Structure 1
Amino acid sequence: MLKRYAALLLAVLVSLSLTLSGCGGTGGKIPTVKIGEVTRSVFYAPQYVALAKGFFKDEGLNVELQTTPGGDKTMTALLSGAIDVALVGAETSIYVYQQGSDDPVINFAQLTQTDGTFLVSRDEMTDFDWSKLKGSVFLGQRKGGMPQMAGEFTLKKHNIDPHQDLELIQNIEFANIAAAFASGTGQYVQLFEPQASIFEAEGKGHVVASFGTESGKLPYTVFMTKQSYIKKNQKVVQKFTNAIHKAQLWIKEHSPEETATTISPFFKDSDQAILASAVKRYLEQGSYAESPALTDSAWNNLLDIMESAGELKERVPAEKLVDNTFADSAVSSDK
């Protein structure tokens, strides 16, 4: 009987030892990271690739994704603790900083490096020129948001005063803009993909220009979190960034069609050809960042755009709100 209990005890100890050795100091629990994305768009394809290909799981993370339309709602979710990481425009971290937060929001991994919207005309045009917008009704984006600021920056670049030379509509909720245009509001609208391609396929609109090409490189969509979260979860943030960089490299090495197939579960109502067309557009204009690191030149371009829109109280140095430590490490480990 004694030998039997000794054998049983030995088995328990061995089992416990194996369990603890597999925990990596996390108490046996796989860390869960809750992401809040500002919208659902092909523009964020690398994020969906990281989820679909299991890159987060490979890093030992469980990731939960939710969509919170609008930068203000996404940031509110982050600050309240409803999510751990926000995927939103870097300008939102500046807004929080300008309010004097004791726990600033830090940008740690860039996903996209240009504006992701396109100018869609209700009428087909073979000879588009920006001057055609003068006197038109333009369905823009929310005031203070990156799409609207980049849009206004582009219009000014082409000698168009967005508040004097056209009728600018900004009072429609972000999630309802496409529906408003489809129902007859506006002659032009600023849309993300795949909505722009969907409207083309349905004959409801025609892409005539790219705000991403016009406004230059900037940290348009970035993974960010509170400084306090980074201090408590440095290994988690590093693993998260590693997965994102793997997805960035994957998209670079695969065709738009392969990417479309991979991310299709996140766009169940979209045609594969539409998704591929949208991915191709973003690849051609270099929208997907190939590195999660934010550059100083792109950050300064962001400040210029915010300053032009009258939304910047002071120019905030990148080192205040950007931490490239995790991005640099991810890139180095993949070389």
Structure 2
Amino acid sequence: MTSSSRESRNAGALPAGSRLLSRRRVTAVAGMAAAAVLALAACGTPASAPPGQAGSTDGGSGTKVIIGVGGQTLLTYLPTTLAMQLGYYKEEGLNVELQDLQGGAKALTAMLGGSTDVTSGYYEHAIQMQAKNQSIKAFVDMGLSSGLALVVAPKNEGTIKGITDLKGKNVGVTAPGSSTDMFVKFLLSKNGAQPTDAAVSGIGSGSSAVAAVQNNQVDAAVMLEPDISALAKQLGKAPVILEDVRTADGLKQVFGSDSWPSACLYAKTDWLEKNQDTARKLAKAVKRALDYVATHSGQEIADKMPEKFAAGDKGQYAKVIEDLKKTLSKDGTFSKDGVEAVLKTQRVANPEIGDKEIDLSKTYTNDFVSG
């Protein structure tokens, strides 16, 4: 995430996902779902807006809020865009602008620099910032899983069979410092290697990420949906996957928890204190979007999303969304066990956290989504 890049499902909510430290292909069912979101025209994947470019604007006349999104086409952030498409921000009296920043780390940087007000990124950033004496607080949770999968580039399918085989390799992530980057470091540490044993390269999301893996520009990559399914379409087969936390089983085996808060809305703590009414309205709009997801089919949801996100095949896009629904939050609240699981991951993967004292109660709040 940490897109933080990047940023919990999906077209490929491939059955059985978990620690596949041996060479394993996603099952036939997944392979079909993996055909999702595709029917791509030329390169066949949803394109992200250039960094910093506005993705969409609500056009309302209420309080202006700029939300930076860590990769707007990634399904982990679907509720943020869906709330826009359904007019929920406007109905709450907000004039929301979404900026597609293609990676959680980039979205965080934009917010810290003052060019956005709120970030649609991964919760772990709030923990990372506290370790740097910067107060960031998440105020509505969208994902119960990070929704990540570690895939192997075609040229390495016979040589990279486990996590330790990544030593000395180049692994693609949405952006260095993102959640996808942290996932690599966590897996290396968990398997007895050093977090720095593999190099990471930012490949963004959407068509750039798919092309990087398909063309063997990286040795492996941490990807999200719909990019994993788009890659399968381009390869003509399901990619080799080493680790997969898009399913409940995979999440439990990799992180040891039933939930791992991922995509959320977060802001500087002082911004939240000064804009409590606005934050409450944002939380309500996103919660309404989560309710919509829970009560509508993947096809109905796909029909509401921007046409370009489906990359020419709305039917397949709908299938991906249907799987995504399983790992989205139902009420937008954070659980104590979930945030503790994220901290545990950070202590392993991020040397800047290490054994530092972290007050989790200052990294999230349920007050706005529950109020």
TM-score, normalised relative to structure 1: 0.77
Of 69, 84, 96, 2:129 maps to 96
**Cα distance in 1 between the residues matched to 2:194 and 2:318:** 35
Shift of 1:35: 0.5
Task: Report the residue type matching 1:199 in the other structure.
Answer: L
Equivalent residue number for residue 104 of structure 2: 71
| Other structure's SS at 2:331 match | coil
Equivalent residue number for residue 194 of structure 1: 226
Figure out how many residues of one structure are paired with residues of the other and give that number.
293
Q: Is the 8 A contact 1:197 1:274 kept in 2?
A: no
**Cα distance in 2 between the residues matched to 1:46 and 1:240:** 11
Equivalent residue number for residue 38 of structure 1: 70
| Other structure's SS at 1:206 match | coil
Asked if 1:222 is matched to 2:297, the reply is no
Of 259, 269, 273, 1:231 maps to 273
Equivalent residue number for residue 10 of structure 2: none
**Cα distance in 2 between the residues matched to 1:300 and 1:229:** 25
Q: 1:97-116, aligned counterparts within 5 Å?
A: 97-101=130-134, 104-116=135-147
When residues 297 and 30 of structure 1 are mapped into structure 2, their CA distance, relative to the original with a 3 A threshold, is: same
Q: 1:8-157, aligned counterparts within 5 Å?
A: 30-40=62-72, 41-101=74-134, 104-122=135-153, 132-135=162-165, 137=169, 139-141=171-173, 142-154=175-187, 157=190
**Cα distance in 1 between the residues matched to 2:199 and 2:236:** 19
Task: Report the residue type matching 1:232 in the other structure.
Answer: K
Equivalent residue number for residue 342 of structure 2: 302
**Cα distance in 2 between the residues matched to 1:51 and 1:266:** 15
When residues 100 and 61 of structure 1 are mapped into structure 2, their CA distance, relative to the original with a 3 A threshold, is: same
Task: Report the residue type matching 1:117 in the other structure.
Answer: L
| Other structure's SS at 1:108 match | strand
Q: 1:170-181, aligned counterparts within 5 Å?
A: 170-175=200-205, 176-181=208-213
Shift of 1:82: 1.0
Asked if 1:263 is matched to 2:308, the reply is no
| Other structure's SS at 1:112 match | coil
Equivalent residue number for residue 291 of structure 2: 249
Shift of 1:240: 0.9
| Other structure's SS at 1:178 match | helix
Q: Is the 8 A contact 1:120 1:206 kept in 2?
A: no
Task: Report the residue type matching 1:184 in the other structure.
Answer: N
When residues 315 and 275 of structure 1 are mapped into structure 2, their CA distance, relative to the original with a 3 A threshold, is: farther
Q: Please list every run of 5 or more consecutive structure 1 residues that lacks an aligned counterpart in the other structure.
A: 1-27, 330-335
Shift of 1:135: 3.0
**Cα distance in 1 between the residues matched to 2:308 and 2:280:** 25
Higher relative contact order (CA 8 A, sep 6+): 2
Of 283, 303, 311, 2:352 maps to 311
**Cα distance in 2 between the residues matched to 1:105 and 1:162:** 25
Q: Is the 8 A contact 1:122 1:205 kept in 2?
A: no
Larger Cα-atom Rg: 1
Q: Is the 8 A contact 2:163 2:191 kept in 1?
A: no
Q: Is the 8 A contact 2:67 2:120 kept in 1?
A: yes
Shift of 1:173: 4.2
Shift of 1:211: 2.7
Equivalent residue number for residue 244 of structure 2: 210
TM-score, normalised relative to structure 2: 0.70
Q: Is the 8 A contact 1:37 1:86 kept in 2?
A: yes
- Please identify, of 105-114 and 261-270, the stretch whose mean Cα deviation from structure 2 is larger: 261-270
Q: Please list every run of 5 or more consecutive structure 2 residues that lacks an aligned counterpart in the other structure.
A: 1-59
Q: Is the 8 A contact 2:210 2:230 kept in 1?
A: no
**Cα distance in 1 between the residues matched to 2:140 and 2:190:** 29
Task: Report the residue type matching 2:353 in the other structure.
Answer: L
| Other structure's SS at 1:34 match | strand
**Cα distance in 2 between the residues matched to 1:51 and 1:253:** 18
| Other structure's SS at 1:87 match | strand
RMSD: 3.0
Task: Report the residue type matching 1:116 in the other structure.
Answer: G
**Cα distance in 2 between the residues matched to 1:270 and 1:118:** 24
Shift of 1:198: 0.9
**Cα distance in 1 between the residues matched to 2:216 and 2:181:** 20
Task: Report the residue type matching 1:210 in the other structure.
Answer: D
